[in-house]
Chain A
Amino acid sequence: MTKTIYSIGFRIFSLYLMLYALPNAAQSLKPDAKKTIIVQKGFDVITIVPSLGRARHITVDSNGTIYVRMNEYNIDGKGIVVLKDTDGDGRADIINSFGDFTGTGIALYKNYLYASSDSVVYRFPLTATGIDASKLDTIVNGLPYNPQHGSKNIVIAPDGKLYVNIGAPSNACQEVDRTKGSKGMDPCPLLETYGGIWQFDANKLNQKQSDGIRYASGLRNCVAMDWDILTKHLYALPHGRDQLNTLYPEFYSNEQNAELPSEELFQITKGTSYGWPYCYFDHLQNKKLLSPEYGGDSKITGRCDTMPKPIIAFPGHWAPNDLLFYHGNMFPEKYKHGVFIAFHGSWNRAPLKQGGYFVAFVPMKDGKPTGTWEVFAEGFAGGKEITSPNDAKHRPMGLAEGPDGSLYISDSVAGTIYRIIYVNK
């Protein structure tokens, strides 16, 4: 009798598994019949949702629920969108939104969802039934706001340290920003409060900027940051400065400006300065060079000799907007512990054709690239060549890894959310 009950119980359990557990497995995911973006061989694309609005960073919890940060309010006037897939095909069936502020940063830590505006970091508790939007904690308040490079995107390390990007409201710290003939300020006073990454305590309420530590400096605007659990380091890929050719046509041609300065990926060490605004990296010469605002001429290294070099450099103006260290089990071995980069795409390569607008991959080991970068997903913008950023139909913006190892990509133009899965065919 007991055995029979046990047996029936087991069968019900099996039935439960078939009905509920299996739809979440990769086998029942339904990839798009026609791929809207181009991915590496063996991968498929699922369009989770086609158009949420101006999406920024994203994160995915252990149940596969997706949280999307909005730069402008969505159609319901909210700043965070929650996407759930109930039937297991990979597409969002339930779309909710909450949060009365817009911004870029979003992260999960313990039982909270953290989200930032351009001056405040907040958090909401996660309950058994979802987010409790009525309980809003302020973690860091009164961060300096400036429209240029205003994103206060965030990363939270497993030890509870909260890292906040405070971008510099300037191109190259000239006395008059972006103005031909205006000198670079030396020292650059903006570095006191901007142009770096500040560290706070994710568990402590109502901190001010002065309660945090300037963890790293000389970083113009690090929209792309991630913490690597393996090397236990923060990594960042700041946006390099603009307009070498228009401000200094005597030193830089349009062709040189299109390639320079390099976009630099750094392994961030506490207390280090990475060079902005005094220095920039030239991957063609493999040198950290003196900025023209500080006496540089496209060749002189000057004080930049001792500045840290990037662990890998990319051509100029591609606008790295997110980094993701991939530790999942779904993708082939070469992707394990490597880094994905969302390149939002350039505008400052004009009059030459633009670059970026794709997701790149760099294989990594022990904090160093083991090979060169490659394009992992492209075709977001629509056309083969992009001359003007306004032509781009989609631009890769945020990255996240799902519990099964899927890669999620957000788009800042239409707000399409993509899921990339490995299907081995």
Chain B
Amino acid sequence: MYKSLIVITTCLILIISYQSLNAETVSSNIITGVHPGKVVYETYCLTCHQADGYGVPGLNPPIVKTEWVLGDKNRLINIVLKGLNTPINVNGQTYRNPMPSHAFLTDVEIANVLTYVRSNFGNKASAITTAEVQTVRAAK
């Protein structure tokens, strides 16, 4: 009885670990309930786009309720991969700061953060998959 309990527990741990390692958009953060894209957002995006996603007037554009985020997925993925070095017009306002390339992020991290951004801050748009990021990265 004692032995089989150990076996079951070990199996459970192994299954959980395996799932954590392999899940694309579901990482070990599922235990804490935090969206994995949120972690990426807070590390790499929040400083410029701010905690509320509204950015900085005149400098860093908002990621809330804009076609740049809710529209064409490929264009959005490309901005993350290549950055933007020209002023951008969002909802009638111009933003001047450049956005650096974030090609150093993995395809999984990019898919996670874009899925998070497209479904938070009042945004309601479909998820972006790792495969979609892979395709855009390969095409550049």
B100 CB to closest chain A CB (Å) equals 4
> DSSP class of A's interface residues: helix, strand, loop or mixed?
loop
- A338 in contact (CB, < 8 A): no
Docked CA distance A350–B96 (Å)? 19
Binds A, one of B42-50, B110-118, B124-132: B42-50
B90 CB to closest chain A CB (Å) equals 12
Closest partner residue, chain A, to B42 (CB atom): A351
- CB pair A389–B101 under 8 Å, yes or no, is no
Closest partner residue, chain A, to B60 (CB atom): A347
Docked CA distance A71–B59 (Å)? 13
- CB pair B54–A390 under 8 Å, yes or no, is yes
A154 CB to closest chain B CB (Å) equals 20
- CB pair B100–A350 under 8 Å, yes or no, is no
B37 CB to closest chain A CB (Å) equals 16
Residues of the A chain whose Cβ atoms lie less than 8 Å from the Cβ of B47 = 242-243, 245-246, 347-348, 350-351
How many chain B residues touch A (CB < 8 A): the figure is 27
- CB pair A178–B100 under 8 Å, yes or no, is yes
- CB pair B104–A180 under 8 Å, yes or no, is yes
B57 touches which of A242, A350, A389 (Cβ 8 Å): A389
> DSSP class of B's interface residues: helix, strand, loop or mixed?
loop
Docked CA distance A101–B42 (Å)? 39
Binary flags per residue of A138-173, CB closer than 8 Å to B gives 1, else 0: 000000000110100000000000000000000000
Residues of A382-425 whose CB lies within 8 A of B: 387-391, 413
- CB pair B86–A388 under 8 Å, yes or no, is no
Closest partner residue, chain A, to B55 (CB atom): A390
- CB pair A147–B86 under 8 Å, yes or no, is yes
Cross-chain pairs A/B with CB under 8 angstroms, 29 sampled: A71-B58, A147-B86, A147-B97, A176-B100, A177-B98, A180-B100, A180-B104, A181-B104, A246-B44, A347-B50, A348-B47, A350-B46, A350-B47, A351-B42, A351-B47, A387-B51, A388-B50, A388-B51, A388-B52, A389-B50, A389-B56, A389-B57, A390-B50, A390-B55, A390-B56, A390-B57, A390-B62, A391-B52, A391-B54
Shortest 5 CB-CB contacts between residues of A and residues of B: A390-B54, A147-B96, A179-B100, A347-B56, A388-B50
